[in-house]
Amino acid sequence: MRTYQFPLDLVRERPPERPVALVRPRSVSVAARWFQDNLKADVFYAVKANPSRWVIETLIDAGVTGFDVASLAEIELVRSVSSDARLAFMHPVKSRSAITRAYFDHGVRTFSLDCEEELQKILDATGGADDLNLIVRMAVSADGAAYTLSGKFGVSADQAPSLLLSTRRAVKDGLMGVSFHVGSQCMRPSAYEAAMAQVGRAITRAGVFVDIVDVGGGFPSVYPGMVPPDMSEYADAIHRGFNEMPVSETTELWCEPGRALVAESSSVLARVELRKGDALYLNDGSYGSLFDATHSRWPFPTKLVRDGERSAELKAFQFYGPTCDSIDHMPGPFWLPADIREGDFIEIGMLGAYGVAMSTGFNGYGEHEVAAVEDAPMASLYGLAPRSIPTVRTTAEEQARKIVRLSRPKGKAGQRKQRRR
Ligand SMILES: Cc1ncc(COP(=O)(O)O)c(C=O)c1O
């Protein structure tokens, strides 16, 4: 992988034909260090967030040894980098052959489940192995998360005690655990504490001993309009929640962060193929790395990467991707210099999680180049850049603010208000 100091250096050297994932491995190492230093938990990186080989290699170099894998392909990927990484197959629904191959060919010992049928399947597919670690996934409320992850998976609170009991009985020499997912991009640290209290009640009702409490993923990143609380608040909430749980001193705490380890590490360099008024047609889109810009309407931060003068005036643009599908539209608003034109390159930031990972080959697009860059990410929760992305005010909004300022009440009430500022 070639390394450039700035994205502009790449554009100057050779304007790329395909979109380029601009990656910052150092930012992954810094995020990994935060988890290792601040959360008293074993870290299992959720590979699905960004299954790039450089991410796995960087995490292993940074001392992360655990990986949450969702498929045989992810298992093979991690194994191709490390023969001794700890793999946890945390997809609650797996094929029999995937379980068998994971166990016998790749040394996977940890499997999650959320029903009796999956428990039986895991036992059958591993020949009743006595060294399995079995983790029961519980559904919990997703308060304050952008994406809820309890709709499809997770045993309900009323059915959990009986599943916990049968899983405890099925575990022989391995460990028995319980996991949950508070939802992705969780903006409320208290959601972890609430989920742990809910899981604790199920453990008490089941009357079982639990070896592992796995708080899943959900740790946030920074996006326009979304500045999460300080990461230390998440660590504090989880430690408080763990202390209150009916578990013992030997119970292990695990976590499966995806987004928070990789989101700030990558941006995408896309080219403007055509401009029609405020619409920019790009060579990347919702079938590429901009899934969330379409489906969640996230207005990712943008920068013009042009060698030369640009208009000082910023304008709000919408993007269209390269496929022929009308869904391939990113409403934004994306703020860019008013004179942007065909052939310009745009860096779209904060796309390290669920960005390139979501790319498809629809319409023959979706292939990316990868290049490393040494500049800072557009925002950072780990001190590498500002914690928030500045919001651009439209002229209409500015006008509205001026009107509010001008219409401040006169007399004593107005003076009082003025003093308080
Ligand atoms: C089982 C499991 N663990 C961890 C994650 C990672 O979640 P996040 O990226 O929100 O940290 C996911 C995401 O879907 C998941 O399904």
Q: Where are the alpha helices (DSSP H) in 288-408?
A: 291-295, 395-406
What pLDDT was estimated at residue 105? 98
Q: What is the pLDDT of residue 357?
A: 94
Contact 121, 98 (CB under 8 A): no
CA distance 306 to 275: 16
Which ligand 1 atom is the nearest neighbour of the CA of 112?
Answer: 1
* Residue 256 alpha carbon, nearest atom of ligand 1: 4
User: CB of 315 within 8 A of CB of 338?
Assistant: yes
Predicted pLDDT of residue 415: 45
Q: Residue 317: what are its φ and ψ, rounded to 5°?
A: -120, 155
Q: Which of 256, 259, 354, 358 gets mutated to test ligand 1 (max ligand atoms within 8 A of its CB)?
A: 256
Q: For ligand 1, say whether the CB of 90 is within 6 Å of any of its atoms.
A: yes
Residue nearest to atom 1 of ligand 1 (CA): 90
Using a 6 Å cutoff on CB, does residue 153 contact ligand 1?
A: no
Using the mean position of ligand 1's atoms as its centre, give its distance from the Cα of residue 207 in Å.
28
Mutation pick for ligand 1 pocket among 34, 35, 68 (CB with most ligand atoms within 8 Å):
68
C-alpha–C-alpha distance, residues 238 and 196, integer Å: 8
CB of 257 shorter than 6 A to ligand 1: yes
Question: In ligand 1, which atom is closest to the CA atom of 90?
Answer: 1
Q: Which residues contact 104 (CB under 8 A, 6 or more apart)?
A: 126
- Asked if residue 68 has its Cβ within 6 Å of ligand 1, the reply is yes
State in Å: Cα 209 to ligand 1 middle.
25
Q: In this structure, how many other beta carbons lie within 10 angstroms of the beta carbon of residue 287?
A: 22
Listed residue (325, 373, 347) closest to 272, CA to CA: 347
Ligand 1: does its nearest atom lie under 6 Å from the Cβ of 258?
A: yes
Task: Report the nearest-CA residue for atom 4 of ligand 1.
Answer: 217
CA-wise closest residue to 238 among 21, 34, 38: 38
Q: How far is the CA of 138 from the centre of ligand 1 (A)?
A: 14
Distance (angstroms) between ligand 1 centre and the Cα of 317 equals: 31
* Ligand 1 atom closest to the CA of 186, numbered from 1: 10
Pocket residue to mutate for ligand 1, from 147, 149, 262, most atoms within 8 A of Cβ? 149
C-alpha of residue 70 to centroid of ligand 1, in Å: 10
CA of 385 from ligand 1 middle (Å) equals 25
Q: How many residues does the chain have?
A: 421
49 lines ligand 1 (CB under 6 A): yes
* Upstream peptide bond of 189 is cis (omega within 30 degrees of 0): no
What is the distance in A from the centroid of ligand 1 to the CA of 152? 13
The ligand 1 atom at the shortest distance from the C-alpha of residue 147 is: 10
Confidence at residue 394, expressed as pLDDT on a 0 to 100 scale: 54
- Does residue 218 have its Cβ closer than 6 Å to ligand 1? yes
| d(CA 343, ligand 1 centre) in Å | 37
Cβ contacts of 87-95, under 8 Å, gap ≥ 24: 88/44, 88/112, 88/133, 88/135, 88/254, 88/256, 90/44, 90/46, 90/135, 90/137, 90/179, 90/256, 92/118, 92/137, 92/153, 92/154, 93/118, 93/153, 94/118, 94/121, 94/122
CB of 31 sitting under 6 A from ligand 1: no
**Centre of ligand 1 from the C-alpha of residue 281, in Å:** 32
| pLDDT in the model for residue 418 | 40
Domains of the chain: 24-262 (3.20.20.10), 263-396 (2.40.37.10)
DSSP state of 263: G
pLDDT tens for the chain, residues 1 to 421 = 999 999 999 999 999 999 999 999 999 999 999 999 999 999 999 999 999 999 999 999 999 999 999 999 999 999 999 999 999 999 999 999 999 999 999 999 999 999 999 999 999 999 999 999 999 999 998 777 777 777 789 999 999 999 999 999 999 999 999 999 999 999 999 999 999 999 999 999 999 999 999 999 999 999 988 999 999 999 999 999 999 999 999 999 999 999 999 999 999 999 999 999 999 999 999 999 999 999 999 999 999 999 999 999 999 999 999 999 999 999 999 999 999 999 999 999 999 999 999 999 999 999 999 999 999 999 999 999 999 887 775 555 555 555 444 444 444 444 444 433 3
